[in-house]
Structure 1
């Protein structure tokens, strides 16, 4: 608490064998403060500082009795100490993927804020120590780190530069520039840079909140991250014939006996015919499906099961179990599905049944289908269904591209964008901004209208002189 009500009394000499001199003063309603000095000159100097501060109108702290100008300098916290505290604060409420991103960014920034201290660990040991231990909130019963990791962490704690270092524009720029590179020194993806910059900005905003920094250093430099491309590359979008051929090829992956591919045909079909995200399809349960014998059915989406890794879930499971993307917890989305997908889901259930918890898609042991599993199957199916030139192209390079194909084909078919957005779980604005270049036929319509405007009919230019 601060106060401008300050009274400074005269110096009092204590008549001991070795004399001492007291300076006494009072701030507001707090008890009187005093400081003892061995010489009168020191006491005079201290009292004069108090009087100057009071005359300048400085507020005095009622606990310490001192104005800000005389408060003892606060020892600057190291970046490493702050970063660990920030991770501990964010961890309980962060989603697993967010924990991974938080850990990755804190590891990178920490390596940029280490002093030149003897005994630096090897780079791989340093990264394992930071990524696997320093910035992971461990359970209380977790085993202690190996000796080399523990030694590396002790070195980091001593070598870490002060958090206040980032107040220097050159240092914060150096840290920001490091976000643009991968570990190998190659340029990082624009989305990755944007994500890491956001994590760093939020961390330093927390430092401002704690009054460790006067303002967020990121705002002090003119630094722009690479532009993130939000539009879907139209080259990844398959047409209906290619989609059918790819789904057929999936059924051949792994052969008939292992059924590795056949187990996933309907999973990929949900992405193409229903526009589902892969993690939504993986989480789909039988009670969420309305599958009539004829006509359209529907899916009620409530959960996603993204693959994130045991380290980040905190439950010991590889897959997170969370709600729909960009939706409140427990909110659902209803997706109508065409008769073809209804038949494929019915056939899948008849052949493979469901997992114990009702999931439609499971691996051979009944577990959640890992992203690495369906990526490998998809890669093999592309080599079976596409030409070598198409395999080398971006065409349907990722399972997620089936969703892109679904949404762009619905828009091309003239379905109202509001309805497409509702089925896809996107806003209309995001939908149109991402799929604008995937809408076929717009260029032909524009060419025809321009030709009509110019009076050129079919667009063929007349020869000079006309002729009859």
Structure 2
């Protein structure tokens, strides 16, 4: 095998010679030029991204096939089980911790279902899941000592896993799809869980298509199976008004010991007044803040600290250290902040100082605050600030609902959608889709028009 590190990947172009829309991706390995045609631009972009990520990692490419060695490992797998392991290896280096968690979670659900249904001695479902999630799928975990029952379970999977070619049959793909709809206890899985796992399954099969191991994505042929609908818009019942938000922020200062609540007031204020995601607020540093004595200030967000299991992070810490969502690795996001938040952050820094790396919000030992910690404080604050009826409602049930309230407030104040999207770190189309039911005024206008028509 001749390999090369000299790789060039060109932009995708529309295939003009085809009657139906298709898109061509061209790249070169050494002096050999390669091309591949895709049915949609999104599929072409996914494959282009995989090639570029492999080149960025400094991975060698096979000159004959034009593929990076990690892709060849996936291509050489003959069974779904082997394909799943190689697919994880290919995705792992450039995946965020939460993506790794989601990827292995979905594959641990699908893989036990894609086996010979007549094979005897199938291990218990919980054991198979543990074997996959804890020992087989995470690359580093494959080096861990394996108890005998884990070795037995994985050996059974290796023997009885379906061949990749068998997944071209709709009946076999349905085995994986049906597995996504159930929890381990046999109950129905949540719609969001099904949608997330189906996406992983679809992308994995599409990768097999890209590598020419399958002619088409077999999920597209499954007509009788429909995933449950997922709520894509924010429920306006979760949105607090400014008075309620301020009452909740005050209530936070009364919860917890050792000033824990007072320390979290600034964190929650960033979510409401700045529209930050919780992980963005946890990554906020003093050097990211412009906090004048009077008037509006500005945050230039650069870091995000999403929480994940230590198993999925490169650092072995519970929180990943990432760039911003939907942004290039070193691209920041400027967020103008009102004087009220400027004052809160100035007070926070004066009272609590900052960590040696500049972070405003941290534990007493300097660590990153966990989801459990700030959610517990928020639950206690709701009990202080809200009436019993409000506590029983979805109103600000989660800290993230403060961000929803912020974006809804901006839209209803008449701020242009592109400006709101820039501040919140959204695309405009996604913004309007997600917050469609939180924009006031539309119902009243429609009612007046109908009333006028009826009176004519």
Instruction: Find the counterpart in structure 2 of residue 213 from structure 1.
Output: 214
Where does 1:315-464 land on structure 2 (aligned, <5 Å)?
315-452=315-452
Larger radius of gyration: 1
Instruction: Find the counterpart in structure 1 of residue 3 from structure 2.
Output: none
> Is contact 2:407-2:420 (8 Å) kept?
yes
Residues 138-179 of structure 1: per-residue CA shift (max 9 Å, x gap): 178x43223332222222222323233322212212321222
Where does 1:159-174 land on structure 2 (aligned, <5 Å)?
159-174=160-175
Whole-Å separation in 2 of the counterparts to 1:224 and 1:434: 22
Instruction: Find the counterpart in structure 2 of residue 98 from structure 1.
Output: 99
Tell me, what secondary structure is at the counterpart of 2:347?
helix
TM-score by length of 1: 0.77
Whole-Å separation in 2 of the counterparts to 1:130 and 1:209: 25
Whole-Å separation in 2 of the counterparts to 1:273 and 1:76: 51
Tell me which of 232, 235, 238 is aligned to 1:236: 238
Instruction: Find the counterpart in structure 1 of residue 310 from structure 2.
Output: 310
Tell me, what secondary structure is at the counterpart of 1:132?
helix
Tell me, what secondary structure is at the counterpart of 1:334?
strand
What is the CA distance between 1:449 and its match in structure 2? 4.6
What is the CA distance between 1:453 and its match in structure 2? 5.4
Whole-Å separation in 1 of the counterparts to 2:252 and 2:111: 44
> Is contact 1:302-1:324 (8 Å) kept?
yes
Tell me, what secondary structure is at the counterpart of 1:335?
strand
Instruction: Find the counterpart in structure 1 of residue 180 from structure 2.
Output: 179
Residues 402-439 of structure 1: per-residue CA shift (max 9 Å, x gap): 00101111111122222211111112222222112112
What is the CA distance between 1:207 and its match in structure 2? 2.1
What is the CA distance between 1:123 and its match in structure 2? 2.7
1:346 to 1:182, Cα distance in 2 relative to 1, 3 A: same
Whole-Å separation in 2 of the counterparts to 1:214 and 1:412: 49
2:274 equivalent to 1:269: no
> Is contact 1:179-1:193 (8 Å) kept?
yes
Whole-Å separation in 2 of the counterparts to 1:182 and 1:395: 28
Tell me, what secondary structure is at the counterpart of 2:395?
coil
Tell me, what secondary structure is at the counterpart of 2:298?
strand
Tell me, what secondary structure is at the counterpart of 1:138?
helix
Whole-Å separation in 1 of the counterparts to 2:389 and 2:374: 22
Stretches of structure 1 lacking an aligned partner (at least 5 in a row): 1-74, 457-468
> Is contact 1:355-1:367 (8 Å) kept?
no
1:125 to 1:379, Cα distance in 2 relative to 1, 3 A: same
Whole-Å separation in 1 of the counterparts to 2:437 and 2:208: 42
What is the CA distance between 1:325 and its match in structure 2? 0.8
1:119 to 1:221, Cα distance in 2 relative to 1, 3 A: closer
TM-score by length of 2: 0.78
What is the CA distance between 1:350 and its match in structure 2? 1.2
Higher mean C-alpha deviation, range 81-90 or range 283-292: 81-90
Residues 32-80 of structure 1: per-residue CA shift (max 9 Å, x gap): xxxxxxxxxxxxxxxxxxxxxxxxxxxxxxxxxxxxxxxxxxx992221
Where does 1:60-99 land on structure 2 (aligned, <5 Å)?
77-99=78-100
Instruction: Find the counterpart in structure 1 of residue 12 from structure 2.
Output: none
Where does 1:9-28 land on structure 2 (aligned, <5 Å)?
none
Instruction: Find the counterpart in structure 2 of residue 128 from structure 1.
Output: 130
> Is contact 2:77-2:83 (8 Å) kept?
no
> Is contact 1:76-1:164 (8 Å) kept?
no
Whole-Å separation in 1 of the counterparts to 2:315 and 2:146: 20
> Is contact 1:310-1:316 (8 Å) kept?
yes
Whole-Å separation in 2 of the counterparts to 1:211 and 1:411: 47
